[in-house]
Chain A
Amino acid sequence: MTELQEARDIRTEGLHVATRHPVPKGEPILELRALQKKYGAVEALKPASLTFLSGEIHAIVGENGAGKSTLIKLLTGVIKRTSGEIFWCGKPVQLDTPHEAIERGINAVHQEVVLCAHLTVAANMFLGDEINRNGLMRKRAMTDAAQRVLDDLGFNLPAAAVLGSLTIGQQQLVATARAAMRGTQFLIFDEPTAYLTRQESAQLFRLIRRLQAEGVTIVYISHRMEEVFELADRVSVLRDGTHVGTRKIGETNEAELIALMINRTIEQIYHKEHFPPGEVIVETRDLSGPGFQDVSLTVHAGEIVGLYGLIGAGRSEFALGLYGRHRPSAGEVYWQGRKVDIASERVAMDLGIALAPESRRDQGLCLNLPIGLNINLPVFSRLTRGFTINGQQERENADRQIRDLKIKTPSRRVLASAMSGGNQQKIVIGKWLSHGAKLFIFDEPTVGVDVGTKAEIYRLFARLLENGAGIILISSYLPEVYELADRLHVFRRGRLVASHDYRAASHEEVLTQAIGV
């Protein structure tokens, strides 16, 4: 009996265990039939039929927003499906609460560690399933058991240490060990190696293979092609909420998978007008700062410069550096030919830089304040006469942006939180239109935005360019930057790794450069 099984037995004293339905290896353990998830009118997952076989490692790949996280949330009972059926071990199941999922033996290891940083490693591994005797916790027994499991897995981690004192990668391994000792039948890994070192990844892979050998079914979600080919038995591809295919790993290759991931018709929504490039607005030379290194690029009046890369590749960090939020540590910025030191957001705004940040919720809007206040926030000093604000100008300015951008609201006094994603994005844009700028930075401007509003936003880009502005467009959605950018820069791990003119490179080439295979 291995330590892992022993630890499972320790924690089963008087506790429920996942009901085990032995399914022979290679038979379907979890089957999805026309599973669909809608948020309002938006289809996050179009009816998908997928089968997971007992004891296999099944990889799922797809771009950001392809529906991977929706699928995980459905499988772990975090959200309820809109329609479709789920069969577990051949029987239809509800699977609409996290409790039910865990009860059946379905667990997930998330990209972000969701454990208690202040407790010890052992306490985290037994969290919610503590070993008790007469109502008192057996701390020593838990620490010993946890240590045996960790040693057995070859993780070389101290069970008595406080979780927060470990690196993110080590915490991820603890989360994995925790899932491994919970009577798991079906374990989902959501981009588990995003924060791991090579060595830690290797440890994780050993654990995954071992779990597979013990009969656990593994779902492995990743951006990294090399990992998929190293680990998986089969691979499924999602694109725009659609399940576009499943392949045996021996019968496919990287090129085919990438083609499946991005092969989409170019929709009419990408409204592109070309303007003759004007003067240089901004130029960075070897600019470095927190999260990005040695970035050199130039933006001309009348052009869109696209920054593509995976989330965390340093695009947004570069934008925040250029905007003065995080002061660059090295390199130079030239604004219309003049060397400048952008020490704060105010300096950037006064030069003529506007930023529609990555997260509307966290960075873009004061959600529990009225739309009008949000729109006027950058321009209150302009609206002030003497000590007080000119109320009439304040109202007119807000109403003008609401009218021009067609923000669907009965009044400027409605709170920003009551608006849909598309309208919220318009409020952020309206803020900067009323301020006016020479360089507009749009970071993921169409995330969570419906198609109609997307098209409106793209048309607005053309209007800005026409008036002599330059745009930096940041996106994780390749077609968007690919179709709109006059020049496309690819970011990977904080560096600018490649640059292309409009449509000069293929989708495959750009995606390969971003992923780094």
Chain B
Amino acid sequence: MSAETVESGASAAPRKGVSILFGLTLLGLLLFLWLLLGFATNSFWTPNNISNLLRQGAMTAILAVGQTFVIITAGIDLSVGAVVGFTSVIVAWLLAAGVPLWAAILLTLAFGVLIGAFHAFGIVRMGLPPFIITLATLTSLRGIGLLITNGSTISITNEAFTNFSRADFLGVPSLFWMVIVVAIPAYVFLHLSRFGRYLFAVGSNSEAARLSGVNVHRTIYLAYILSSTCAAFVGLLLASRIGIGNATQAEGWELQAIASSVIGGTSLFGAVGSVHGPLLGAFILATINNGANLLNVNSFWQRIITGVLIIVIVYFDQLRRRSAR
């Protein structure tokens, strides 16, 4: 086997350079879309619309970053949309019960941690495939949320909480600031800390990682807890934005998150991914939706365009990887 893989320096492109190139391509695509929409519509480059776009993209972007940690370990987290809906109920319920705001936020995030730990427990201890355990919590969490609210919604009366999502800071929507608040530590974690390296190693070859002294179980716990906690954080943002807790909210967001991650260059086979990629992916998707609205394109077409875009981008990424071999 060994003799066939004779190394040749020129064909084995350095990995980091390629990933920067791919990031720039995505950024170029995003700017191109913005320029295009700027010419095609009068309303795209208005402060109002840009704020709106940033708000739309923000929540998917945070979900996509969490999702990426899981996908890098060669797993998948289908539950994030359900976690968003569920935690929006939890925070509304806690606030309605008179719990102080800070405590309600911390408790809601703690629920995210617990859900992620449960996923990892199912994978590591019960030997369930990630797809199955997160599919199970997807349906169960929506059910639990509906039981708590008796099928209706809980209104949130705390003004400080609901005003947050409408507020701006330095002219930029506070929701977008939250993306930065998540992305910077996520970048440090994934690209600069040893835990990030361990995520890649586990996704590439968990047995080799284990024999090199990596605590594989702990790494998997870490990935799923981060994903669910990001989702719980988005649940808080969503509750703030719509002012209610409702377990049926955020339907299908898990697919938006996975799509953003994949468009951003994450490999579903594991061991390939970044933080900036999913962020760009999320805002590309948000731009397409926003632009389609402005151009009065039937919303059904938006879904089709998104699907085609996923195929095209991932296909070109595959071509690039193959030729880099």
B-contacting residues of A (Cβ < 8 Å)? 39-42, 323, 325, 345-346, 349, 355, 357, 361-370, 373, 376-378, 380-381, 383-384, 387-389, 391, 408-411, 413-415, 417-424, 431, 435, 448-450
Is A413 in contact with B16, judged by CB distance below 8 angstroms?
Answer: yes
Q: How far is the CB of B220 from chain A (nearest CB, A)?
A: 16
Contact of A40 among B6, B16, B17, B193 (CB under 8 A): B6
Is B212 in contact with A362, judged by CB distance below 8 angstroms?
Answer: no
Within 8 A of A (CB), among B174-216: 188, 192-194, 197-198, 200-201, 204-205, 207-215
Q: How far is the CB of B10 from chain A (nearest CB, A)?
A: 8
Is A368 in contact with B194, judged by CB distance below 8 angstroms?
Answer: no
Which residues does chain B contribute within 8 Å of A377, judged by CB atoms?
Answer: 197, 201, 208-209, 212-214
Does B171 make an interface contact (CB < 8 A)? no
Is A40 in contact with B9, judged by CB distance below 8 angstroms?
Answer: no
Most buried by B among A388, A418, A448: A418
Is A389 in contact with B3, judged by CB distance below 8 angstroms?
Answer: no
Q: How far is the CB of B57 from chain A (nearest CB, A)?
A: 28
Q: A366-B204, A366-B208, A413-B15 are in contact. List 4 more A-B contacts (CB 8 A).
A: A40-B3, A366-B205, A377-B212, A418-B8
Which residues does chain B contribute within 8 Å of A383, judged by CB atoms?
Answer: 194
Within 8 A of A (CB), among B212-229: 212-215
CA distance A413 to B17 in the complex (A): 9
Is A369 in contact with B7, judged by CB distance below 8 angstroms?
Answer: no
21 A-B pairs in the complex with CB atoms less than 8 angstroms apart: A40-B3, A42-B3, A325-B210, A325-B211, A365-B208, A366-B200, A369-B200, A369-B201, A370-B15, A377-B209, A378-B212, A381-B194, A384-B193, A388-B188, A388-B192, A413-B14, A415-B12, A418-B7, A419-B7, A420-B3, A449-B2
* Nearest B residue to A383, CB-CB: B194
Which residues does chain B contribute within 8 Å of A42, judged by CB atoms?
Answer: 2-3
Contact of B7 among A381, A423, A450 (CB under 8 A): A423
Which residues does chain A contribute within 8 Å of B319, judged by CB atoms?
Answer: none
Is A363 in contact with B211, judged by CB distance below 8 angstroms?
Answer: yes
Which residues does chain B contribute within 8 Å of A431, judged by CB atoms?
Answer: 212
Q: How far is the CB of A99 from chain B (nearest CB, A)?
A: 23
Is A387 in contact with B3, judged by CB distance below 8 angstroms?
Answer: no
Which residues does chain A contribute within 8 Å of B205, judged by CB atoms?
Answer: 362-363, 365-367
Which residues does chain B contribute within 8 Å of A363, judged by CB atoms?
Answer: 205, 207-208, 211
If A40-B4, A381-B194 touch, whether A369 touches B207 (CB-CB below 8 Å) is no
Does B322 make an interface contact (CB < 8 A)? no
Which residues does chain A contribute within 8 Å of B188, judged by CB atoms?
Answer: 387-388
Is A384 in contact with B194, judged by CB distance below 8 angstroms?
Answer: yes
Most buried by A among B211, B215, B272: B211
Which residues does chain B contribute within 8 Å of A370, judged by CB atoms?
Answer: 15
Is B197 in contact with A41, judged by CB distance below 8 angstroms?
Answer: no
Which residues does chain A contribute within 8 Å of B272, judged by CB atoms?
Answer: 368
CA distance A387 to B212 in the complex (A): 20
Is B6 in contact with A420, judged by CB distance below 8 angstroms?
Answer: yes
* Nearest B residue to A424, CB-CB: B2
* Nearest A residue to B16, CB-CB: A413
Q: How far is the CB of A436 from chain B (nearest CB, A)?
A: 13
Most buried by A among B1, B8, B201, B213: B213
Is B193 in contact with A388, judged by CB distance below 8 angstroms?
Answer: yes
Contact of A420 among B7, B194, B214, B271 (CB under 8 A): B7
Which residues does chain A contribute within 8 Å of B4, judged by CB atoms?
Answer: 39-40
Does B5 make an interface contact (CB < 8 A)? yes
Is A373 in contact with B7, judged by CB distance below 8 angstroms?
Answer: no
Which are the 6 A-B pairs with shortest beta-carbon distances? Answer: A421-B2, A366-B204, A380-B194, A448-B2, A39-B3, A40-B3
Does B325 make an interface contact (CB < 8 A)? yes
What is the 8 Å Cβ interface bit string for chain B, positions 131-168, against chain A (1 contact, 0 not)?
A: 00000000000000000000000000000000000000
Q: How far is the CB of B205 from chain A (nearest CB, A)?
A: 5
Q: How far is the CB of A48 from chain B (nearest CB, A)?
A: 19
Contact of B194 among A346, A364, A389, A409 (CB under 8 A): A389
CA distance A422 to B205 in the complex (A): 20
Is A373 in contact with B211, judged by CB distance below 8 angstroms?
Answer: no
Q: How far is the CB of A494 from chain B (nearest CB, A)?
A: 21
Is A366 in contact with B271, judged by CB distance below 8 angstroms?
Answer: yes
* Nearest A residue to B185, CB-CB: A387
Which residues does chain B contribute within 8 Å of A367, judged by CB atoms?
Answer: 204-205
Is B2 in contact with A420, judged by CB distance below 8 angstroms?
Answer: yes
* Nearest B residue to A365, CB-CB: B208
Is B197 in contact with A421, judged by CB distance below 8 angstroms?
Answer: no
Is B194 in contact with A418, judged by CB distance below 8 angstroms?
Answer: no
* Nearest B residue to A419, CB-CB: B7
What is the 8 Å Cβ interface bit string for chain B, positions 212-249, against chain A (1 contact, 0 not)?
A: 11110000000000000000000000000000000000
Contact of A389 among B12, B14, B192, B207 (CB under 8 A): B192
Which residues does chain B contribute within 8 Å of A323, judged by CB atoms?
Answer: 211
Within 8 A of A (CB), among B5-39: 5-9, 11-12, 14-17
CA distance A418 to B325 in the complex (A): 7
Contact of B3 among A345, A364, A448 (CB under 8 A): A448
If A346-B213, A349-B213, A384-B193 touch, whether A364 touches B208 (CB-CB below 8 Å) is yes
If A345-B210, A357-B211, A368-B271 touch, whether A414 touches B193 (CB-CB below 8 Å) is no
* Nearest B residue to A413, CB-CB: B14
CA distance A42 to B215 in the complex (A): 38
* Nearest B residue to A407, CB-CB: B7
* Nearest A residue to B267, CB-CB: A368
Q: How far is the CB of A326 from chain B (nearest CB, A)?
A: 12
Is B209 in contact with A366, judged by CB distance below 8 angstroms?
Answer: yes
If A388-B193, A418-B5 touch, whether A366 touches B210 (CB-CB below 8 Å) is no
Within 8 A of A (CB), among B98-116: none
Which residues does chain B contribute within 8 Å of A408, judged by CB atoms?
Answer: 7
CA distance A188 to B263 in the complex (A): 49
Is B271 in contact with A369, judged by CB distance below 8 angstroms?
Answer: yes
Q: How far is the CB of A126 from chain B (nearest CB, A)?
A: 31
Is A345 in contact with B213, judged by CB distance below 8 angstroms?
Answer: yes
Most buried by A among B1, B7, B271: B7
Is A410 in contact with B9, judged by CB distance below 8 angstroms?
Answer: yes
CA distance A378 to B209 in the complex (A): 9
Which residues does chain A contribute within 8 Å of B5, judged by CB atoms?
Answer: 417-421
CA distance A380 to B197 in the complex (A): 8
